[in-house]
Amino acid sequence: MSPSDSDEVLIKQKIMPRMEDGELIWIGEGKKTVDVQGIKDRFHSLKIETDWKRLDEINRYRNDIEHYHSPVSAGSVQKMVSNSFLVIANFIRDYLEEDPRELLGEGVYDVMQKIEEVYNRDKAFCIDKLKSLTYFNETISNAFLDIKCLECGSELITSTDQDISADSTSYSCRSCNDEFVYEEVVTDLFEKKYALSHRDIMSGEEDISCSCPECGGFFLYYEGFCVACGVENNLVCDLCSEKAHPSEAEVFEGRCSYCNYKWEKMMAE
Ligand SMILES: [Zn+2]
Ligand SMILES: [Zn+2]
Ligand SMILES: [Zn+2]
């Protein structure tokens, strides 16, 4: 987008004004190009929109491999290359108004497109297998679409078997080959989704996580079921019809702690 005789002014860190035929123009100086923050500032002032979430992830990875090493798996890198391909292709199409395949050259374009296709095919394979399983309920089956490897974070993780119940198969990561049991995966998914941050608790939000009376697994207070064994309990007291806090163990037997106290007292008399 830089004017042709401006020495690529828009990507240069140092920009100098110059008068030419009585007109003020800006010229890039030196070899230094803008850093990531510089790119953000330029995009902002030029009203160029792009997917910064994707770009930041790619940039973190680039920084790691440039200066340290990266704990990221091959599968996650594949996803990032696939993501950067989309960002670049969209930018070329929308702002440079060029054909990405022509501008990048067939060789580069085809390699990037192939990586994107392979990743998408792998991901679809994982999702298909997960969708063939039977879950305790829809909340759990929906949560499984966000599954990530507990070890390397790759989204290329799926069940070992298909067409059986979700809690009787294991889950393996196609990037790092680590394997997990149902309870590990489901607990991780819901802990991330529901766990209150320390700040929420400080600001008065009630901590409603609790463990299942049947299996000790992660029990959802509002939904009233255990993600690990599927047991359901709406935690409503049979006697006063109030919803009790899960920390009141008696409510799993059908009474809140207050009614239970009265009931025990009555029984003792
Ligand atoms: Zn993994
Ligand atoms: Zn349970
Ligand atoms: Zn009660």
pLDDT tens for each residue of 143-180: 999 999 998 888 889 999 999 999 999 999 988 889 99
Q: What is the 108 CA–ligand 1 centroid distance (Å)?
A: 28
d(CA 14, CA 183): 56
Query: Could you list which residues have their CB under 5 Å from ion ligand 3?
Result: 237, 239-240, 256, 259
In the predicted structure, residue 6 carries a pLDDT above the cut 90: no
Q: What is the 254 CA–ligand 3 centroid distance (Å)?
A: 8
Q: What is the 231 CA–ligand 3 centroid distance (Å)?
A: 21
> How far are the Cα atoms of 46, 138, 158, 178, 189 from residue 143, in angstroms, in the given order?
39, 8, 13, 20, 7
Please report the pLDDT score of residue 199 as a whole number.
56
Q: Are strands 170-173 and 179-181 parallel, antiparallel or unpaired?
A: antiparallel
Query: Could you list which residues have their CB under 5 Å from ion ligand 2?
Result: 212, 214-215, 217, 226, 228-229, 231
Ligand nearest to the CA of 254: 3
Ligand nearest to the CA of 241: 3
Please report the pLDDT score of residue 86 as a whole number.
86
d(CA 58, CA 154): 14
Question: Residue type at 169?
Answer: T
Handedness of CA 258, 243, 238, 240 (dihedral sign): positive
The chain-wide mean pLDDT, for the chain, equals: 87
Q: What is the 183 CA–ligand 2 centroid distance (Å)?
A: 10
Residue 170, phi then psi, degrees to nearest 5: -105, 170
Q: What is the 72 CA–ligand 1 centroid distance (Å)?
A: 9
Please report the pLDDT score of residue 197 as a whole number.
56
Q: Average pLDDT in the 112-137 region?
A: 92
Q: Domain locations in the chain?
A: 1-48, 206-268
Q: What is the pTM of this model?
A: 0.68
Q: Average pLDDT in the 33-37 region?
A: 91
Q: What is the 8 CA–ligand 3 centroid distance (Å)?
A: 74
In the predicted structure, residue 124 carries a pLDDT above the cut 70: yes
pLDDT one-digit tens code per residue, 194-217: 765 555 656 666 666 678 878 888
d(CA 238, CA 182): 33
Ligand nearest to the CA of 74: 1
Q: Are strands 179-181 and 210-211 parallel, antiparallel or unpaired?
A: unpaired
Q: How many CA atoms lie within 13 A of 232 on its CB side?
A: 5
Ligand nearest to the CA of 176: 1
Q: What is the 181 CA–ligand 1 centroid distance (Å)?
A: 14
Q: What is the 225 CA–ligand 2 centroid distance (Å)?
A: 8
Percent of the chain with pLDDT over 90: 40
Q: What is the 230 CA–ligand 2 centroid distance (Å)?
A: 6
Query: Could you list which residues have their CB under 5 Å from ion ligand 1?
Result: 149, 151-152, 154, 173, 175-176, 178
